[in-house]
Structure 1
Amino acid sequence: MGWNKAYGLPKMMNAAQYLQEKTMAVANNPSLTGANAVSFKYAKNADSTNVDTRWTDYVYRTGLSHSHAINISGGNDATTYYLATGYTAQEGIIKKNDFKRINILANVDTRLSKAISLGGKASYSNEMNYSAGSSGSLPGEAYNTGALARLTQVLPPILSPYNTDGSYNINGSSIGAPNITGTSISYYNIVPITDLNRSNNEVNHVQSSTYLQVKPLSWITLKTLYGIDYMLIDNDLFQSAVTGDGYTAGGNASAVSAKYKTWVWTNTAQFDYTFADKHSLSLLVGNEQQRRTTSTYGINRQGISDPGYNIIQAGYTINNPTGNARGENYLLSTFGRLNYNFDRKYFLSGTLRHDEASQLGQKKAISTAAAPAGRSPRRISGNQHTSITSSAASASEEATEKWATSTASATIAHGHNTSAGSTAVSPRSPTPSAASATPT
């Protein structure tokens, strides 16, 4: 359990300081007098006291965070299991910015015989992300008119979020400012934005993997591993017609659903053999296939029929498609690695891999990389062994690793990928639960 609180916030003027500065500025500018007179006055509260608003009090808060978990594990010589469940809730430093997560994990491994073992694990999580709208703290939001963090620094302290009758102090899309004449205040009122607007999403995440391992001989290990990573996301955005960003459109609502599905299938054969008590060979050969699909679709609706509605299913006059996209890619890899050790003094290693990726055009995404790695011998004493990697070998291994990484993350441009729509949904990139056995 813990608490989150904003710190380092700039100290803002109070109402008296603000009026003094503005009055001096007007007096020092003759163009703001006479017919073009600009004036700033105190606004009054319902009890006739002067308004002195600390706008940060309407945006920031001290948030409570707590997390709980239950774990169960057990087994015997042949089978082991592990179960875990957890719950996390976090209140952000900005009001209505909350996060909740429920997750469960199950893991089972069993040995059917000395030669055969299998196992699997599965996890599920449900995440809810709540927000009233833009905070202004993310890339591209710093100068957003409706960014809550920015509004705390530009709204005058002589304005109140409420009228004396308790209603919102608004003037169209902006805050009401009857006590300021000769100039306009075009900024939004923070309170109706946090009260009426929302930008939420729900993420359902499923990860699972299963494996089968067979050792027909003591020096041979055959293994197959299959894993999935499915992420389902629902985005829900609403901007009220009362004021703010949704005012001009007469109310604005969007709903976008996204499905991100990945599966990985890895098959490996490992051979570890020692002969003449001095020669040790270790050979790994394998194949891996990975497929990922993306499908998103959504709708944006504007012009709500009743200001009391705040859901996408209500009546609207304008319907626009948004967030529609579809993509697919496939990666096929074949790899091998050979290690040789002589008398635990001299060591040689070589890696070979071949990758084909659908992100690029046909026959343009096929590449083979080889990385022979030599180890320099060094005298040893007793059973200790020290080896030094040559610089050429290190460079070769690093090049192979970089090439493999770039192949796996190639930009979707051609081949089997198709996409449509003007809005992209960008969730956190899922990581397949099936660990790759690809050597680098």
Structure 2
Amino acid sequence: MPLRTREDLRQALRRIDGRGYPAYRDLEGSYDFGNWELRLDRAQPDPFASPSRFRVRVPGPAAGLPPEALATPLRRWATGDFLARAFQRALPRGGSLGSGKSGLIFIDAGEQEILPRTAVRVEPDGTVEVRFAAGLPAAGRRILGRAAEELLLERIPRAVAGSLLAGAHDRRALSEHLAAAEDHAWLQERLPAMGLVAFVADGSILPRESGVSQKPLPGAVPWVSPPELRVTVEFPNAGPVTGTGIPAGVTLIVGGGYHGKSTLLRALERGVYPHIPGDGRERVVTRADAWKLRAEDGRRVEGVDISPFIAGLPGGTDTRWFRTEAASGSTSMAANLVEALEAGAGLLLVDEDTAATNFLIRDARMQRLVPKEGEPITPFIDRVRSLYTDLGVSTVLV
């Protein structure tokens, strides 16, 4: 069956103008826009419901992506990440076209990390498929056909032309985007052989603009490596880069308040993913199996063996098969640690601020006050070295 045309869509919208909202379902299907295709997969049943689901499919010749963007699976998904952001930028700002979500267009383009995304798929032949949602226009629960024409026949085509078709791509920006993802993956794969668990390039910007934003803090002080940890890495795209190599084993980072300890640890957490150019953390690379270890008071625990860390609880609770509906700080942290080991963690990231202090350490005074045989908790500090020597699990503690 041949695809319906752009003009068919226009006529269908005029035919259902003013009808009840469910009539939008008559539009479901594919439409030929010349060198690309628009598909309405699911029309929302109500203007206040989740927006309708659309796809745009652009054949390889029309997309015009450079061969280097298609060369490897990594480059293809990184290109998809780039195009998702480009499509989002090309969308009109604001401009509601009626009730509820009418006229609004949504795509999951992510934030600062470069990730494989289901929102955009780039195929080996260069075909691009973009998946997004849009609110079909209505007044109350009546279809606004003319407003829908503006959405489907003007706004979406402009966004496609401005982001997905040949000539719309910023080749230099795309190349930098691919290089950031590729360099990150290259080093992440080689960190164990280098005896490192993480790398922080000199000049990196680690602070974020706020606690709820992943964007870089303007005017932040760039990272400078301590001489004793400085290494040089020869990236395939960026070339030689000097930075801090955090060695495998146990690393303790100390400093006064507001000296950036937690900021560094958060950068290491995020360093399991590549970041977009300009983020400041493009060359912060952490082992892919890193795990942030923290206390979670009140979490549910079911059937976890925390006996290496906690035993002899009141009431004879069997910590070899520990369960609770509301764990304490120490039992939750012990459970999190055991689960991390079961999941194959190779690096534990621990921030004293979010840890249970009684699980982390027992200082000399506490050891004198409470004899070891009367203390059910074996602190993390007593096990941290054996975690590395026996299991190969490193720790970075701030």
TM-score bin (small chain)? under 0.3
Tell me the TM-score normalised to structure 1 length. Answer: 0.24
The higher radius of gyration belongs to 1
Structure with bigger strand share is: 1
- By relative contact order (CA 8 Å, sep 6+), the higher-ranking structure is 2
Bigger share in helix: 2
